[in-house]
Amino acid sequence: MNDSVSTSAGSVSLLERIRTGEVLARDCPSREILNHVCSRWGVLVLVVLLDGMHRFSELRRKIGGVSEKMLSQALQSLEQDGFVERKALPVVPPHVEYRLTAMGEEVALQMDGLTSWIEDNLPRILAAREGKVAVG
Amino acid sequence: MNDSVSTSAGSVSLLERIRTGEVLARDCPSREILNHVCSRWGVLVLVVLLDGMHRFSELRRKIGGVSEKMLSQALQSLEQDGFVERKALPVVPPHVEYRLTAMGEEVALQMDGLTSWIEDNLPRILAAREGKVAVG
DNA sequence: CGGAATCCAAGATGATACTG
DNA sequence: CAGTATCATCTTGGATTCCG
């Protein structure tokens, strides 16, 4: 369905709203970016890369449970969005380095704030959950 | 090994050992919480509720593109984690209110930081993308 | 080593219809 | 109004295999 916009005589066009980057608008490109950085593996990649350059297999080892395919996919999304820089050295065996761009470090700090908060408050959260679902 | 530090927290420098802690462990419950608040609709629900109490259909109207089912599901996850409080008034027609708990407001602030950053930097991000995906 | 390609299972998502 | 139930579909995720 169409959502709000253009109510009064004021000519607030859809394009203008999109240009300002409204995550609540279904057609805004920011939704896609949000999904990339918030994706199951994307957020973890960002947090790990805050620690500096990593090679593919280092990332894979640090991020518990990620498959090669998913890691590769997450890295590609983040690289396309300009958050991660990929440098492949022309050697044998292959040597590829991943690191955050300046912009990537900014988002990564946001995600680190989130993951840190969750880790710090995990006991509180789990306690709240027990009180809700336990009844059975 | 690198960091065997776990929950002592407090005196450990953030930038020195960028938490390779809980969220990176595949079996840690924090992963599930992370996925709830980072889910496609969960993050938007949190951000909207930062504005105060909302009814179901108000949320649905504000969050462009969400279906009833997905909104309902996101709200249930967030309620279970103790981030959202649901109050159903016994009237006809039904009247249900959703609002953030104290804990929910804390996470919501984190997510708001993220979404705001994305909105503010969308032009930069899209520009970076153009340079990558565009013509070969 | 660092992927890409393929196949398949599982889960997310959405439109529709229905209920209290 | 605020959901739930159902079914069809699209996307994720993982294991395997192959390549430079």
In whole angstroms, what is the distance from residue B84 CA to residue B75 CA?
7
Q: Is the CB of B99 under 7 A from strand D?
A: no
Residue A2 CA distance to nucleotide C15 C1' (Å): 16
Task: Kindly determine whether residue B114 and residue A116, on different chains, have CB atoms separated by under 8 Å.
Answer: no
Question: A108-128: per-residue pLDDT in tens?
Answer: 999 999 999 999 999 999 998
- Closest CB from A29, A110, A111 relative to B122: A29
* Protein residue nearest nucleotide D1, by CA to C1': B94
Please name every residue paired with A95 in a beta bridge, in sequence order, or none if there are none: A89
Angle between helix axes B42-49 and B68-80 (nearest 10 degrees) is 70
CA dihedral B133, B134, B135, B136 (to 10 degrees): -30
Mean pLDDT of chain B: 84
Residue A132: pLDDT band by 50, 70, 90 thresholds? low
* CATH class, A27-121 region: mainly alpha
More confident residue, B28 or B98: B98
A55's CB contacts (< 8 A; 6+ apart) are A95, A96, A97, A98
Task: Considering only residues B57 and B131, tell me which one the structure prediction assigns the higher pLDDT.
Answer: B57
Query: Residue ranges of the domains in chain A?
Result: 27-121
**Computed over its alpha carbons, how large is the radius of gyration of chain A?**
20
B66 band by pLDDT with thresholds 50, 70 and 90: very high
The answer to whether the peptide bond before residue A94 is cis (omega within 30 degrees of 0) is no
Angle between helices A42-49 and A68-80 (to 10 degrees): 70
Q: Tens digits of per-residue pLDDT, A48-101?
A: 999 999 999 999 999 999 999 999 999 999 999 999 999 999 998 999 999 999
Residue B97 token pair: 């209110």
Sort B133 into a burial class: Cβ within 10 Å, 0-12 / 13-18 / 19+.
exposed
